[in-house]
Amino acid sequence: MGMFSFIKEAGEKLFGRGEAKAAQEAATAAPTPENVAALSKTAGAAIATYINSQGLRVDGLQVSFDAPSGTVTVAGVAPDQATKEKVVLCCGNVANVSAVTDLMTVSDSSPESQMYVVKSGDTLSKISNECYGTANKYTQIFEANRPMLSSPDKIYPGQVLRIPPEA
């Protein structure tokens, strides 16, 4: 369990379409408690849909979003530590999310990964060299962040990546 901070302006733009966009526009135009609650509900549902679209399976997955604070709370039972960490990153690497409260547990525990915030000019090779002492392990970082990363060349400043323990 823990609280993780993210850069609110960086990440997937999940709230800019469909019901989430309509709820966001309504909450911005008239920030009534009802509109803010509707935004929170639709944003939480959009994040849960995103997690499922990444093929990450969590028993009893529950995702809620608090629009005023930009905080996602995620709960459920992940099959392993890697899945748990990927779910937290899916929640946090979304535009308008500033923090994730992780209430998940794992069925099969293993060592935790460290988290790395991408800086301007970073590449996976540069990050690998900094974290592992060799640029050649960039594929390990790429694989640890799939399916959220579609290419080793598509990282952006502010994105948070999993850096697994050395294999």
- 16: which 2 tokens? 């800019």
Domain limit, last residue, from 108, 131, 153: 108
- For 145, the domain range is 114-163
Residues 54 and 131 placed together within one structural domain of the fold: no
Residues 33 and 94 placed together within one structural domain of the fold: yes
Domain limit, last residue, from 89, 108, 127: 108
Q: What is the pLDDT of residues 40-82, one digit of tens each?
A: 898 899 999 999 999 999 999 999 999 889 999 999 999 999 9
What ranges in 30-162 are assigned the alpha helix state H?
Answer: 33-53, 81-92, 124-132, 138-144
Nearest to 36 by CA among 48, 44, 24: 24
Q: What is the pLDDT of residues 131-165, one digit of tens each?
A: 999 999 999 999 999 988 999 999 999 999 999 99
- Confidence at residue 110, expressed as pLDDT on a 0 to 100 scale: 83
How many whole angstroms separate alpha carbon 10 and alpha carbon 56? Answer: 22
Looking at per-residue confidence, does 71 or 15 come out higher? 71
Residues 97 and 126 placed together within one structural domain of the fold: no
Residues 135 and 94 placed together within one structural domain of the fold: no
Average pLDDT over residues 122-128: 97
Looking at per-residue confidence, does 59 or 96 come out higher? 59
Residues 54 and 70 placed together within one structural domain of the fold: yes
pLDDT tier, 91 (very low <50, low <70, confident <90, very high otherwise): very high
